[in-house]
Chains A and B, each alone.
Chain A
Amino acid sequence: MARTRSGLGFGRILVVTLAALLASVLPLPGWLELLRPDFVALTVLWFTLLSPRLTGLFYAWGAGLALDAFKGVLLGQHALALIVITYVASKLRLQVRAFPPLQQTAVILALLWLNEFIVFWIDGVAGHPVTDWRRWLSVPVGAACWPLLTGLFARVAARR
């Protein structure tokens, strides 16, 4: 019994993750493309903070590898960034869940920044740094999306 309900949860996670992956390569007009938040990082953070029994580091790693495959970048780049922020988020989970929305968003901002920084750093190590300041735009946009996404995801999770 327990197993089947866990299985349902797994299916939902898969669908949401796939949607996030598709949203991260969806063609957008020029300036909107620069404002695109890291949907996969947001999804991973959401599952880590609010549904930790179903997901974990392995999930974050898999989602990161899938994102690398979708974007055609260095394999393991987003995977490494995502497992690091998942680790930090798991450690802070109980505090963050009790935070008021604004403070929660601030934590998400910091985690998204860490995620983007690791990706940026690996870009540099791999020999093709992208020093354009606009790459950091996705971080505040992602954090601003957090309150909206929690509402949306809560609705998805509630529909059982």
Chain B
Amino acid sequence: MQTLLESFRIVLEKEREAEKIIIEAKERAEKIEKEAQEKAKEAYKNTYQEIIVNAKQKSEEIKEQAKIDAEAEMQTITKNAKKQKEKIRKNAEKKFDEAINAVVNDIISSSGENDGIRK
């Protein structure tokens, strides 16, 4: 039969053992939180960078697309202008003689206007 003292000692031992388990748990918890702080800093940096990098990439894409669109618009407008130029040339050529005759007649008939006088 155990003495009361013996029993008390055994309980005390178990209490110490229990206390050690708690202390170890607290230490582990402290380590977890400390690591979490470090990880959080890293996570902040990574998340921030990831979003900025994506934004920069998207920004480049927007500008690149603008250049592509502008280039396409340029091609279309230039093509249309060249078509218009051809149309103007063809129509004008039909009236070339009329225009030349008008100039010749004008020169022959308007030479005596007063603006020819010089000092």
Say if A and B assemble together: no
Interface residues of A (CB under 8 A from B): none
